[in-house]
Amino acid sequence: MKKRFSEEQVIRILREAEEPGVTIDDVCRKNNVTKQTFFRWRSKYGSMEVSDARKLKDLEAENTKLKRMVAEQLLVIEGLKEFAGKK
């Protein structure tokens, strides 16, 4: 599923809500997001800067790649064990 907002956009939206005199309701309405989404974003990205969000995105991608590699290696190992056990 494609994300509607990039990490940079999310952080910009969160920073909007920190400005004096601006309410969370106003920010959510302006950016067409629910309050639930806003608070989920705030718990994940609350104290981050844009560069931190980019690093997080890169690390998550690397983590996914490494998990896939480990799963593939486990399949190879299981296949070799099965093959060796049949001889």
Tens of pLDDT, residue by residue over 6-21, are 888 998 999 999 999 9
Residue with the bigger pLDDT between 1 and 10: it is 10
Angle between helices 7-18 and 35-45 (to 10 degrees): 100
Measure the CA–CA gap between 61 and 63, rounded to whole angstroms: 5
In the prediction, which pLDDT does 52 show? 79
Interval 22-66: pLDDT, tens = 999 999 999 999 999 999 999 988 777 777 777 888 889 999 999
Q: What is the pLDDT of residue 44?
A: 86
- 53's CB contacts (< 8 A; 6+ apart) are 7, 8, 10, 11, 45
Tens of pLDDT, residue by residue over 65-77, are 999 999 999 999 9
